[in-house]
Structure 1
């Protein structure tokens, strides 16, 4: 028997499992509202269109947000899996479970804030979400899983979640700065966008090196960057230099993740 599964369940374990289920339901309700159903306003239309695909040079095209369907499906699968009796006392679930719960609630808080047109509050929520996901990701890396389910439903889902929220955070902060009237100290908006994309690419590559080339965060980050590039080529706010930088960043992050994975093939399950 795995040492990670040898502990006996405690009441707090049952509480954690139940709260994660409840948090998942809250996040799903928020997603339905944010999509425009159930009386909500579609995200691209809130706050005067500040989060639309053509609001800033760093806004991804609309299809990019389809990744949320994959993330939510993964979170639902995780919530069901972690609620199994066999998962109650596992140390990995104990260490990560409440952080995943926090991410679910912050996700819903972000949607609620943008639905209320509170762009500044939405930035606070998404940056808090980013911090929580970073902590969860670090915890999972320091406490490797011992099954395929671990690799997919924890490492994979959280990695995908983190990679996308990194991109969404940049887009959200940029929208707030534009609404606040920030002019880049007189510099070119295109130069600023290119600089931010370059910095993001460096961070994405550093993450790929640090985490041993896990594909999930690299793919999600590259997905977001690629759709920023598409938006700058096909939308009403065109910029070929920004598009090229975004595409190059996406490709570089994937290449670095692949190179690290090939160079370091051992070291636990990776997604």
Structure 2
């Protein structure tokens, strides 16, 4: 009973934090903060790693996902009165991520770029903690746990990982750093290689294919942005995206028996943990 009460409190905290993050993001786009929108500042500190503008539409999917995730926690703990180990395992880390997300918007729009980097790193570290605590994607969970918990967290974490690289690059642009002795071009290539490597590693070590699909999305957007003017960046970005995609498809085929859709169709109605 104590466990359930604790999880109920955490589920409410997580839902409030999600609404806070979504609310701040929505307000900043509709009414602006400090006279700016997120895209305004992105354009101001534009750099070669910045993807095509459409890439940022992924926030819509992320917000829908985490709203479903938070709602599912409340449903499980209040309506069904069923404990959910995942809630205890993530503790306050998920709420911290959403708090940092909202604060990041404010820091970004007031052009406190170093503060925005710190907040982005805080989100990234919190995601790492969640992934390690839950051991997500490394055990045969019920279909509902995969769809309503693992996938929203994986997609969110995947974008924050790419965004962290972009945020650091934007901060370096603000302080006038242009790649040092290697130049901005080679710095961008290094960032593309790093993003590709991180996503391949996360598939190999954690089987987090949804995380890696976000990496594909971002790298394709970098390719599209530079397709007509800088093929020497566009081609490596597309190569990295295809490399990740092939690995994702290969892992998906090899682990097809754990596909949540197939699990559900085969009668897996277990709510699990």
- TM class by smaller structure: 0.7 to 0.9
* Deviating 4+ runs (over 6 angstroms): none
Where 1:182 maps in the other structure, the secondary structure is coil
* Aligned equivalent of 2:206: 211
Aligned residue among 188, 197, 201 for 1:202: 197
* Aligned equivalent of 2:50: 59
* Aligned equivalent of 1:3: none
Alignment partner of 1:161 is 2:117 = no
Q: Would the aligned equivalents of 2:86 and 2:134 in 1 still touch at CA under 8 Å?
A: yes
Q: Structure 1: where are the runs of 5+ without partners? A: 1-6
Cα deviations across residues 24-54 of structure 1 (Å, max 9, x unaligned)? 111111111332x13432112138712xxxx
Alignment partner of 1:152 is 2:143 = no
Normalised TM-score (structure 1): 0.86
* Aligned equivalent of 1:16: 10
The separation in 2 between residues aligned to 1:262 and 1:157, in whole angstroms, is 21
Where 1:117 maps in the other structure, the secondary structure is coil
Q: Post-superposition shift, 1:229?
A: 1.2
Q: 1:171 to 1:150 in 2, by over 3 A?
A: same
Cα deviations across residues 171-195 of structure 1 (Å, max 9, x unaligned)? 1111111111213232232112112
* Aligned equivalent of 2:265: none
- Residues 223-262 of structure 1: pairs in structure 2 closer than 5 A: 223-233=217-227, 238-262=229-253
* Aligned equivalent of 1:79: 70
Normalised TM-score (structure 2): 0.85
- Residues 81-230 of structure 1: pairs in structure 2 closer than 5 A: 81-84=72-75, 85=78, 86=80, 89-141=83-135, 144=139, 146-212=141-207, 214-230=208-224
Q: Would the aligned equivalents of 1:96 and 1:136 in 2 still touch at CA under 8 Å?
A: yes
The separation in 2 between residues aligned to 1:39 and 1:11, in whole angstroms, is 39
Cα deviations across residues 216-254 of structure 1 (Å, max 9, x unaligned)? 1111111011111111225xxx42111111111111111
User: How many residues are aligned here?
Assistant: 255
Q: Would the aligned equivalents of 1:226 and 1:247 in 2 still touch at CA under 8 Å?
A: yes
Per mean C-alpha deviation after superposition, the further-off stretch among 180-189 and 16-25 is 180-189
